[in-house]
Amino acid sequence: MTGTGAEATQRPAAVTLDSVSKRFATQTAVHPLDLTVSESEFVALLGPSGCGKTTLLRIIAGLDSPSSGTVSIFGTDMTDRPANKRPVNLVFQRVTLFPHLTVAENVGFGPRLRRLGQQQAADKVRAALELVRLPEFGDRRVTQLSGGQAQRVALARAIANDPKVLLLDEPLSALDLEIRRQLQAELKDIHRRLGLTFVYVTHDQEEAMSMADRVVVMNDGRIEQVGSPVQIYRQPRSPFVARFLGMSNVVEATVTSAADGHLDLDGTGLPLRVPAPPQALAAGQRVIAVIRPDCFEITRAADDPPSAAEVTGTVADVRFIGSLVQYLVTVAGRKWQVSARAGSAEIFPEGTSVCLSWRPDEVIVMNG
């Protein structure tokens, strides 16, 4: 497993996937992969739809069985254990509350199956409903709940079952933005208070970055990168990760010279000279350069000719989105995404001739 910070590695492993794969009749949903989730960790599986993240979650839950590999939960091999006997619970993407039961009966479903005493089961239901801030909702029919309330009840139902690991499969994706934001904050708070291990599947990079301790970026059944949100954002290891994290300028380039700890890159339309990355790159090699939109500095074009790390271009599009202004700037026929703090800075309208500069040490170069 990749290094993930000292704190996480000292804790016992809650979930360990060892060369787990999943093949369906015509395609491979998950290529053999390893993943360890530590106790009390909040891990997000992030990727586009069809990348295998939900399949992976269902394999941990026991609702799908892996084609190869083993699944361990707190050190016990669970690969062949049926879903109903695993100490994990899943909050589904769609509402899966039982329509013939009340809210309290739904939440008490697990405790009653485990033959807890009447009083004990009732206590669990009350505690779980209080946790999701719906203490008065016990007697309601589940058909009377709003989408947000239904997912809170689903969360309470999973938690009332005392799972050792809580699995969440895009539980907020069907909700309005405002309710989604609110529930994101509450989920994070619940995670902190219970100290429970969370494995959270999402296709929303902002959700993954803002909630998780560690993000697992998946694509096409493989893990692209594992790391803290900051690591992943600052050091994407593949063009896919860079693109998936949003709005990055990912361009192909050729190394024209590699000397004095610097690389000169050609083919991007920008005169890129960047500090040489750790991997050895020689002149003539094809590489991928990633420049995040916020690496750029945008100013009105001056009369004097641009300096070495500057270029002039034309604003092709402006979008004002509150705290940020997003520009598309055309430089030598290629469009670059540039974001600038709105603040009190001048906002350049379409067609303005502007000057772009960038911090060379923030340009990411990876093998093409």
Partner 1 sequence: MNPLTRLRRRGFGLLHIYVGLLLVFLFLPLVVLIVFSFSSSGQLRFPITGLSLRWYREVFANSTVTDGIVASLTVAAVTGAVVTVIGTMAAMVVNRYPFRGASVVSGVILAPAALPGLVIGIALLNFFGDLHVTLSLLTVTVGHIIYTLPYFYLVLSARLRKFDPMLEEAATDLGAGPVQRFRKVTAPLIAPAIIASAFVVLALSWDEFQITFFTIGDQSTLPLVIWSRARLSIDPSVNAIGTLMVAGSLLVVIFTRRFITESYS
Residues that bind partner 1 (CB under 8 A): 61, 63, 82-85, 89-90, 92, 94, 96, 98-100, 109-110, 113-114, 143, 157-158, 161
The minimum distance between CB 193 and partner 1, in angstroms, equals 22
Burial of 330 from C-beta contacts in 10 A (0-12 / 13-18 / 19+): middle
Residue 158, helix vs strand vs coil: helix
Q: Which is nearer to partner 1, 83 or 250 (CB)?
A: 83
The minimum distance between CB 124 and partner 1, in angstroms, equals 12
The minimum distance between CB 149 and partner 1, in angstroms, equals 17
Q: Which is nearer to partner 1, 149 or 205 (CB)?
A: 149
Q: Which is nearer to partner 1, 24 or 320 (CB)?
A: 24
Q: Which is nearer to partner 1, 21 or 161 (CB)?
A: 161
- Between CA 104 and CA 156 the distance in angstroms is 10
The minimum distance between CB 128 and partner 1, in angstroms, equals 12
Q: Which is nearer to partner 1, 47 or 163 (CB)?
A: 163
What is the full DSSP assignment across 218-260? EETTEEEEEE-HHHHHHS-SSHHHHHHTSS-EEEEEEEEEEET
The minimum distance between CB 240 and partner 1, in angstroms, equals 30
- Between CA 203 and CA 53 the distance in angstroms is 9
Where residue 343 falls (left for φ over 0; alpha for ψ -120 to 50; beta otherwise) is left
The minimum distance between CB 292 and partner 1, in angstroms, equals 39
Q: Which is nearer to partner 1, 98 or 320 (CB)?
A: 98
**What DSSP state is assigned to residue 361?**
G
Residue given tokens 């494995």 in the structure block:
199
Copy the structure tokens of residue 51: 């990348």
The minimum distance between CB 95 and partner 1, in angstroms, equals 9
What is the full DSSP assignment across 78-144? -TTS-GGGSSEEEE-SS----TTSBHHHHHTHHHHHTT--HHHHHHHHHHHHHHTT-GGGTTSBGGG
**What DSSP state is assigned to residue 183?**
H
The minimum distance between CB 89 and partner 1, in angstroms, equals 6
Q: Which is nearer to partner 1, 106 or 205 (CB)?
A: 106
Q: Which is nearer to partner 1, 167 or 281 (CB)?
A: 167
* C-alpha 320, offset from chain centre: 25
Q: 118 Cβ partners below 8 Å, 6+ apart?
A: none
